[in-house]
């Protein structure tokens, strides 16, 4: 059964002045070309969207070099997670802990048995080769996340290949969530798209939500190694899974060539600034390749910052984490300095466990 809302970005229950560090959205905002396209195409929103997302899939094919027959679009990546589970009907699944909660939510909704592989704090929650030992022949599906949410750790491509090889032997599908891939400074060594040619049991999740700051538009897509599986996922979708405005904006964003590289550079600088400042204030800071940072501090930190008008992501609902863990989005330079100033005002007692 679906539990209560457990994600970041729930700013609506607060006043307008809350500064939200709980949702991991690109601080550079939506690409200008996408904004202009939304307005310029306003007359196109009168008719129903293209149920087959032909123009969008063509743009994604060009950008990612994946055959459009292997691309399925949806109402955000979270929507596609549920669609994948519906289409594949797995009985036994393996996921890591901690990781994005919607994998567990989707699997539980459809009465799938879930096995957990616990990532270790002493290893900065980075996936290791012992994950292979957690894979058994009963598995039908595996969910992985790289960069992982909420840790920001990445999966080495050699290890991912080993996982895919073993999964293929036991007949399991691997769903790899790479929604934060484009925030990695050097993403090529971690980009799993080239593996689609070798592994038809691989599904890669991506989204415009994070990198293109389109959380409110809802646009996700997945790249599927097996065209028949892609067709199965499509059959679960409502006829109009992507709105015309989301499709038009997504296509325009993909055409803004320098936007991703500018975002990478900005995030790298601001992530380093935040990480160093947080560490100097006594917080335990875990290494991250994404646009967010996992830290450890006092159980009272979240409420103390909220009283100062800053919202951070409580992480106690992540399996294997507790109320000492928080996830902080990397935002603009001005906003990040405001967070640091607030933490300095609070003093050292809030960095203590």
pLDDT by residue, tens only, the chain of 353 residues: 455 545 555 555 666 679 999 999 999 999 999 999 999 999 999 999 999 999 999 999 999 999 999 999 999 999 999 999 999 999 999 999 999 999 999 999 999 999 999 999 999 999 999 999 999 999 999 999 999 999 999 999 999 999 999 999 999 999 999 999 999 999 999 999 999 999 999 999 999 999 999 999 999 999 999 999 999 999 997 889 999 999 999 999 999 989 999 999 999 999 999 999 999 999 999 999 999 999 999 999 999 999 999 999 999 999 999 999 999 999 999 999 999 999 999 999 999 87
How many structural domains are present in the chain?
2
Residue 125 shares a structural domain with residue 145: yes
pLDDT at 1: 47
pLDDT at 44: 92
Q: Is the pTM of this model over 0.75?
A: yes
How many residues are listed for the chain in this entry?
353
Q: Whole domain around residue 331: which residue ranges?
A: 11-25+260-351
| 2 domain-assigned | no
- 112 close to 86: Cβ distance less than 8 angstroms: no
69: part of which helix (H) or strand (E)? none
Residue 272 shares a structural domain with residue 221: no
**DSSP state letters, 267-319:** HHHHHHHHHHHHHHTT-EE---SSSEEEEE--TTHHHHHHTTTEE-EE-TTST
Residue 98: cis peptide before it, omega within 30 degrees of 0: yes
Residue 113 shares a structural domain with residue 244: yes
- 9 close to 19: Cβ distance less than 8 angstroms: no
Residue 90 shares a structural domain with residue 237: yes
| 1 domain-assigned | no
Alpha carbon distance 102, 108 (integer Å): 10
| 220 domain-assigned | yes
- 119 close to 126: Cβ distance less than 8 angstroms: yes
Q: Compute φ and ψ for 265, nearest 5 degrees.
A: -65, -45
pLDDT at 5: 47
DSSP 195: G
pLDDT at 206: 97
Residue 234 shares a structural domain with residue 298: no
Q: Which domain CATH number covers 84?
A: 3.40.640.10
Q: Compute φ and ψ for 191, nearest 5 degrees.
A: -75, 120
| 53 domain-assigned | yes
Looking at 228, 254, 280, the residue that finishes a domain is: 254
Exposure letters 259-271 (e unless 16+ CB within 10 A, then b) = bbeebbebbbebb
């Amino acid at each position: 059964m679906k539990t209560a809302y457990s994600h970041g970005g729930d700013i609506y229950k607060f006043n307008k002045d809350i500064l939200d560090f709980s949702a991991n959205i690109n601080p550079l905002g939506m690409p200008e070309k996408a904004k202009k396209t939304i307005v310029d195409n306003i007359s196109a929103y009168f008719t129903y969207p293209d149920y087959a997302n032909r123009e969008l899939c063509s743009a994604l094919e060009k950008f990612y070099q994946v055959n459009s027959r292997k691309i399925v679009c949806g109402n955000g990546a979270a929507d596609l997670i549920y669609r994948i589970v519906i289409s594949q009907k797995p009985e036994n699944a393996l996921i890591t802990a901690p990781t994005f909660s919607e994998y567990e939510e989707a699997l539980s909704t459809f009465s799938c048995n879930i096995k957990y592989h616990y990532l270790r704090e002493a290893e900065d929650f980075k996936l290791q080769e012992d994950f292979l030992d957690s894979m058994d022949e009963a598995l039908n599906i595996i969910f992985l996340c790289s960069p992982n949410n909420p840790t920001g750790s990445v999966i080495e491509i050699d290890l991912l290949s080993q996982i895919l090889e073993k999964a293929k032997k036991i007949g399991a599908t691997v769903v790899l969530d790479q929604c934060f891939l484009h925030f990695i400074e050097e993403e090529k060594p971690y980009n799993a798209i080239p593996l689609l040619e070798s592994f038809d049991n691989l599904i890669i999740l991506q989204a415009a939500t994070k990198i293109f700051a389109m959380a409110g538009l809802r646009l996700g897509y997945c790249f599927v190694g097996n065209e028949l599986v892609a067709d199965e996922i499509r059959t679960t979708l409502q006829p109009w899974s992507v709105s015309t405005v989301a499709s038009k904006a997504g296509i325009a964003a993909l055409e803004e060539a320098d936007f991703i590289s500018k975002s990478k550079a900005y995030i790298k600088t601001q992530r380093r600034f935040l990480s160093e400042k947080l560490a100097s204030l006594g917080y335990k800071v875990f290494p991250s390749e994404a646009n967010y940072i996992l830290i450890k501090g006092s159980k009272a930190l979240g409420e103390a910052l909220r009283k100062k008008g800053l919202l951070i992501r409580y992480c106690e609902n992540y399996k294997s984490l507790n109320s000492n863990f928080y996830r902080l989005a990397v935002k603009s330079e001005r906003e990040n300095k405001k967070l640091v100033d607030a933490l300095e005002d609070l003093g050292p007692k809030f960095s203590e466990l």
